[in-house]
Amino acid sequence: QVQLQESGPRLVKPSETLSLTCSVSGYSVRSDDCWGWIRRPPGKGLEWIGGIFRSANTQYNPSLKSRLTISLDRSKNEFSLRLSSVTAADTAFYYCARQSCDSLGTYHFASWGQGTLVTVSS
């Protein structure tokens, strides 16, 4: 069964770049897989950040697109998120997830990591 684990700095300074990695275990990442990032600011609801599909295609939340990069490293069985120029509004629990998909489209998030709280503060 696939397991996902987020890792990265828990504290980031304003204007700097937030970088997180999602390590995938119990499963070998394939070229036709779909992966995503979701966040939940404390006390608020879930927000879709973006995803990477079939190794190279990406979709980003328009509200974050100018600051966001999501990439996949099949050799390390992991995928990553980079969010630049962060502010306090980016403080949130960040989750990585495996998105169900096939040749016809992308669907629900079937498996999730435990999440990691990233705080933006000086």
Partner 1 sequence: DIQMTQSPSTLSASVGDRVTITCRASQVINGWLAWYQQKPGKAPKLLIYKASSLESGVPSRFSGSGSGTEFTLTISSLQPDDFATYYCQQYHIYPLAFGGGTKVEIK
Q: Does 62 bind partner 1 (CB under 8 A)?
A: yes
Could you tell me the smallest distance in angstroms from the CB atom of residue 4 to partner 1? 9
Q: Does 94 bind partner 1 (CB under 8 A)?
A: no
Beta bridge partners, 101, equal 106
For residue 94, the surrounding DSSP H or E stretch is: strand 92-102
Q: Does 113 bind partner 1 (CB under 8 A)?
A: yes
Could you tell me the smallest distance in angstroms from the CB atom of residue 73 to partner 1? 22
Q: Does 77 bind partner 1 (CB under 8 A)?
A: no
Distances (CA, A) of 16 to 11, 19, 71, 83, 121: 10, 10, 19, 9, 10
Collapsed DSSP state (helix, strand, coil) of residue 32:
coil
Q: Contact positions toward partner 1, by CB under 8 A?
A: 36, 38, 45-48, 59-62, 95, 100, 106-110, 112-115
